[in-house]
Chains A and B, each alone.
Chain A
Amino acid sequence: MSSKLKILAYVCENHAVSAIRAACSSGESLPDSIQIVELPCTGRVETVHLLEAIRGGADGVVVIGCLEENCYHDAGPKLARGRVERIKEVLQDISIEPERVEMINVASVSGARIMLRLREFEKKLAEMPASPFKGAIK
């Protein structure tokens, strides 16, 4: 069931990617549903990227950034969180589950935590009715 899910993850190439790598090297593996897009900083994620991911058929979109106090570029994850919140409001307004978009902040040492959070996200999406955009081309 969950293998059919598609989750797009915008991941910061600094602490966030390190956390995922650390988890993988200690024997964990990313859920198959997750496709990663690496970015220099989550501050680069614009609201349109979140909307287009949903429109393109992703069941969920997650932005994985560094802890807010650890950002290499000062305010990246703060901006990303703000945009995620804004898009949750837009989705709510147009009757699409706002829970399809999430923000997670991680430290590079928190590999286990990020894997847990992603599995939780995957489980939540699996319990939702199918996305009306399922099977879209992108």
Chain B
Amino acid sequence: MIIGERKKVSEIAEMLAGKKKILVSGCRTCVAICMAGGEKEVSELSSALMLISDRDGLGWKMEENVVERQCEKEWVREIDDKIRNADAIVSLACGLGAQTVADMYPEKEVYPGLNTTFLGVPEEQGVWSEKCLACGECIIHTTGGICPVSRCAKSMRNGPCGGSSNGKCEVDPDTDCAWVAIYDRLKLQGRLDMMTDVIEPKDWSKSHSGGRRKIVRKDLLIQPTDSSGKEVVE
């Protein structure tokens, strides 16, 4: 899922200088599960912002709301009146949710309430870790089901670097070395021979390096569009 982390309240408050009617809008999907932008976090942020407003006499009026999936127009449309009524929208959704609102309401100012941090998984209560870089070409079948592109700080393709120390990453001694994990996994599976070949460099053109990516599924299109699947901004 998409993992995010709320910006400091003081930083958000600074962005909102001069605004009056503020909508804090969360999302019930990824960022709710990672406890960064769901219902509780929306009330917490609103309340903290109101503390500032009350103390400093800013006169903010706070509206709270959580949509099912802020990255989908259908769900955002449900809070059309709230958005129209606000002069600033603080999105506690990921960058996708925030931009969906911004693109649907180009005249409205949208402020990011959280930093979209990475694609990751919950490891245990309160711990999330990065496991995918959305590189556009998955190769984990060659690496024992462990992604070296995201889990190795250097995205090594040919085994661990010389900084792998006691099975940990040179960048952070609390982070496991992805290639030690891959080695152990392939050893367990009796497939260590996979680590003896020289692996070609990655084709980064399938990642963001190849430019902004878009997928068009012709079988799913309801209205005919041009071959690029041209976007409609409402």
A–B in direct contact per CB < 8 Å: yes
Chain A residues within CB distance 8 Å of chain B: 46-48, 51-52, 54-55, 82, 90, 93-96, 132-133, 136
Please tell me if B10 contacts chain A, counting CB pairs below 8 Å. Answer: yes
Residues of A within 8 A of B203 (CB): none
Task: Kindly identify which residue among B8, B10, B13, B50 contacts A55, using a CB–CB cutoff of 8 Å.
Answer: B50
Task: Establish whether residues B47 and A55, one from each chain, have CB atoms under 8 Å apart when the complex forms.
Answer: yes
Residues of B within 8 A of A46 (CB): 40, 43-44
Task: Establish whether residues A94 and B51, one from each chain, have CB atoms under 8 Å apart when the complex forms.
Answer: yes
Chain A residue with the shortest CB-CB distance to B52: A94
- Cα–Cα distance between A88 and B55 once the two chains are bound (Å): 17
Chain B residue with the shortest CB-CB distance to A53: B47
Say whether chain B's binding surface is mostly helix, strand, loop, or mixed: helix
Task: Establish whether residues A133 and B44, one from each chain, have CB atoms under 8 Å apart when the complex forms.
Answer: no
Please tell me if B9 contacts chain A, counting CB pairs below 8 Å. Answer: yes
Residues of B within 8 A of A54 (CB): 51
Task: Establish whether residues B9 and A93, one from each chain, have CB atoms under 8 Å apart when the complex forms.
Answer: yes
- Cα–Cα distance between A68 and B55 once the two chains are bound (Å): 35
Task: Establish whether residues B10 and A136, one from each chain, have CB atoms under 8 Å apart when the complex forms.
Answer: no
Chain B residues within CB distance 8 Å of chain A: 8-10, 13, 40, 43-44, 47-48, 50-52, 54-55, 126
Residues of A within 8 A of B43 (CB): 46, 48
Task: Establish whether residues B54 and A133, one from each chain, have CB atoms under 8 Å apart when the complex forms.
Answer: yes
- Cα–Cα distance between A87 and B56 once the two chains are bound (Å): 19
Task: Establish whether residues A48 and B44, one from each chain, have CB atoms under 8 Å apart when the complex forms.
Answer: yes
Least CB distance from A132 to B in Å reads: 4
Residues of A within 8 A of B40 (CB): 46-48
Task: Kindly identify which residue among A47, A51, A82 contacts B51, using a CB–CB cutoff of 8 Å.
Answer: A51
Least CB distance from B171 to A in Å reads: 25
Task: Kindly identify which residue among B8, B9, B44, B54 contacts A136, using a CB–CB cutoff of 8 Å.
Answer: B54
Q: A90 and B9 in contact (CB under 8 A), knowing A46-B40, A48-B43, A55-B47?
A: yes
Closest CB pairs A-B (n = 6) = A51-B47, A48-B43, A132-B55, A47-B44, A93-B10, A48-B47
Least CB distance from A46 to B in Å reads: 6
